[in-house]
Chains A and B, each alone.
Chain A
Amino acid sequence: MTAALLVGLGVAGGVLLVVMARFVVGEVLSQPEDPRLVDDPDIEAPGTRHGAGTDA
C-alpha cells in the first residue's frame, strides 16, 4: 500500500515539481544568460590565463 502511494507521489509530485521549475522559476525568476560571465571556457586549462596559477 505504502509502495503504491510512493509511486503515485513520485509521478504526481515529480510532475508538479517539474512544472514549478519550468514555468515558475524558469520563466518568472529567470533572465537570459550572459555568456561573458558564466563558465569561462578557458577555465583552468594549464597554460591558459586562469590556469597559469596551478602547481601542476
Chain B
Amino acid sequence: MGRGPMLEGLPGVHPALILTLGAVAVALSPRRSRPWLFVVAAALAGLATLGLTDGTTWNYDFYGVELTPLRVDRLSLAFAYVFSIALVAGGVFGMRTMGALERPSTLMYAASAFGVVFAGDLVTLFFFWELKVAGSALLIFARRSPASAGAGMRYLFVSLAGGIVLLGGIGWWITQTGSITFGDLGLDGGASALILVGFLISAAAVPLHAWMPDAYPASTVAGTVFLAAFTSKAAIYALARGFPGTNLLIWVGVVMALWGVVFALAVNDTRRMLVYSSVSQGGFMVAAIGVGSALAIDGAVSHAFAHIVYKGLLLMAIGAVLWATGHTRLTRLHGLGKVLPWVAVLYMVGALSIGGIPLLSGFVAKEMSALAIDDNGFGVAYWLLKLASVGTLLVVVFRLPWFTFVTQRTTAAEHTSVADHTALRQRVPASMYVAMVALACVNVVIGVWPNLLYRLLPNEGGSYEPFTAYRVTNSLALAVGALAAFWVGRRWLAGRPISVRDTDWFYRDLPRRLAPTWNRIRMPDVAIRLPELPRTPVWVSTLWVSGVVVVGVLVTLLAVGMLA
C-alpha cells in the first residue's frame, strides 16, 4: 500500500467528480457568486486529492470491460497535488478577469487533467484526454478576439489529430495485447509508437510543438496560466507512466530544450516567449523520462511540479501586465517596473526560480534530472541541456524583465510612445497579487525546504542532496556566464515588430502559398479553383478540422471492429 493518507478520515473521492459538479454549479449560479464557487470547487478537489491514498483503485464494469477510472499511486498523486495548487491559485488570480464561458470550461478542463493522471486503463485515459482538448480549446476561444479564434481552431485541429493517432495506437495495442491497463508500455512495435506520438504531440515535442506557442498566448489572462499547468504536464505524466527508459526520448528532449530557447529569444510577444520556454523546460523532463532511472523519474516529476509553480507565477505576472496595460509585446512594454513594482518583484521570484538560483524551487527540482542524465552516461545530452539552461536564463531572467520592467528605450519602428504605457489602463486587482504572492511563497518554501517536495516524489528523491557547494557554485557560475552573454548581445535581444513562424508554417502559410500554384494547373473539364486569400484561409482550417473528425470516427469504428 505504501504510505498512509495525507489527511486521515477523508473519503476517497475522485477530484474529477468534484470539479465536474463544480463546473455545473458555477455555470448555473448567479454571476456574483461564480468566482467564489470556482475557488471553493478547486479547494475541495485539492482536499479530495489529499484524502486519496497510495494504492486506492476504483474498478467499473462497462459492458464487460473492466475500467479503472481511479488508480492512485505516488506518480499520479505528485501531479494531482500540483494540479490542485495551480487550480486554486489560478482561480484566485482570475477572480476579476474570468468570464461566463471561462470558469466552467476551466473546471471541466481541470477535471479532465485529474482524470488523465488517475486513469488506470487506456480507455479511461483516452476519454479524459479528449475531454481535456475540448475544455482547453474553450479557454482559448474565451478571449473572444479574431486571433484567438484562429489559434483555437488550429489548436483543435492539431489536438484532434493527436487524439486520432493516440486512439489508433490504443486500439492497436488492445488488439495486440488484450490488455487495457495503462502501465509501462515501452516502445516496441507500431501500437506503442502511435501512443508515444500521441503523447508527444500533447507534450509539444519538436516538430509537433508549434500549436503550443501559437495557442497558449492567444488565451485569456488567466487561461494561459491553466493551459500551461495542465495540458503538457498531463502528457509528461503519461510519458513517465508509459515510456520510462525509452532512450529515444533523451534526444527528443534535448531538441525540445534547445529549440524552445532559441525561438523564445527571437519572438516579440512576452507570453509567447514564456510558452516557448515551456517547450524548452518540457524537453528537460522528456529527456529525464528517456533515462528512466529512479532518480531520473523523480527529477522529471520534481521538475514538472516546480515548473507548474514557477511558470504559473511568471504567466500570472505577465498576465497582470496584460491586464494593466493591454499589451504583451516587448516593443510596447518599457519601464513598467516603476508603475508595477510588485509585479516586477514577483515576476523575478519566478524568473530566478526557473533560472536555477539557490533557495528557490527550480534549483532543488531541476538539477536532479540533469544529474541522472549525466550519471547514466549521456554526457553530451547533459551539456546540451546545460546550454539550453543558458538560454532559459537569457530569456526569462534577463531579456524579458530587462526590456519590460527596466529599460525606457523604445525601437524606432514602434509607433506608440513609452508614455502611453506608464499610464495604466486599469489597476491590477488585489486577487491577482494574492495568487502571485501565494505561488511565490510556494517557490521559496520548496527552495528552502526541498524535502517537502522530495517526499511527494515516486522514489522520494533517493539520496539526492541539492545544497552542496559544488551545485550552488555551478548554478551561480552558469548565471554569471549567461549575464555576460546577455550584456554582450542585449541590443540583438530587444523586441522587434516581427512575427516568427515555426513548424506551424506548414498548416498556416503553406495552403495559402499552394493556392496560386494549384490554380495555374490547367486540366480539361476540371474547374476546381482555390480562392487566393491574403491571409490563412479559414475554410482550410474548417475543412481540416471536419476531416479530422470524420477520420477520427472511421478510426474509432475500425478500433471497435477490431475489438469486437
Contact = CB atoms under 8 A, between A and B. Distances in A.
Contacts of B32: 55
Contacts of A38: 147, 269, 329, 499
A10 B332 CA distance: 29
Interface in A34-52: 34-46, 49-50
A10 B499 contact: no
Contacts of B326: 39, 41-43, 45
Nearest to A34: B499
A29 B500 contact: yes
Interface residues of B, number: 72
Nearest to A53: B99
Which of B266, B489, B501 gathers most chain A CB within 10 Å?
Answer: B266
B328 interface: yes
Contact of A43 (B143, B263, B387, B390): B143
Which of A24, A25, A35 gathers most chain B CB within 10 Å?
Answer: A25
Contact-residue bracket for chain A: 35 or more
A55 B99 contact: yes
Contact of A19 (B99, B100, B492): B492
B473 interface: yes
Which of B144, B323, B328 gathers most chain A CB within 10 Å?
Answer: B144
A25 B502 CA distance: 9
Nearest to A30: B498
Given A37-B146, A43-B322, A17 B394 contact: yes
A55 B221 contact: no
Interface string B480-506: 111111101100110011111110010
B327 A7 contact: no
A25 to B, nearest CB: 4
B143 A11 contact: no
Contact of A31 (B425, B476, B499): B499
Interface string A4-27: 101111111111011111101110
B481 A14 contact: yes
B386 A6 contact: yes
Given A10-B479, A17-B261, A17-B265, A44 B220 contact: yes
Contacts of B328: 39
Given A14-B489, A18-B485, 7 more contacts: A10-B393, A19-B492, A21-B492, A30-B498, A39-B328, A42-B326, A45-B425
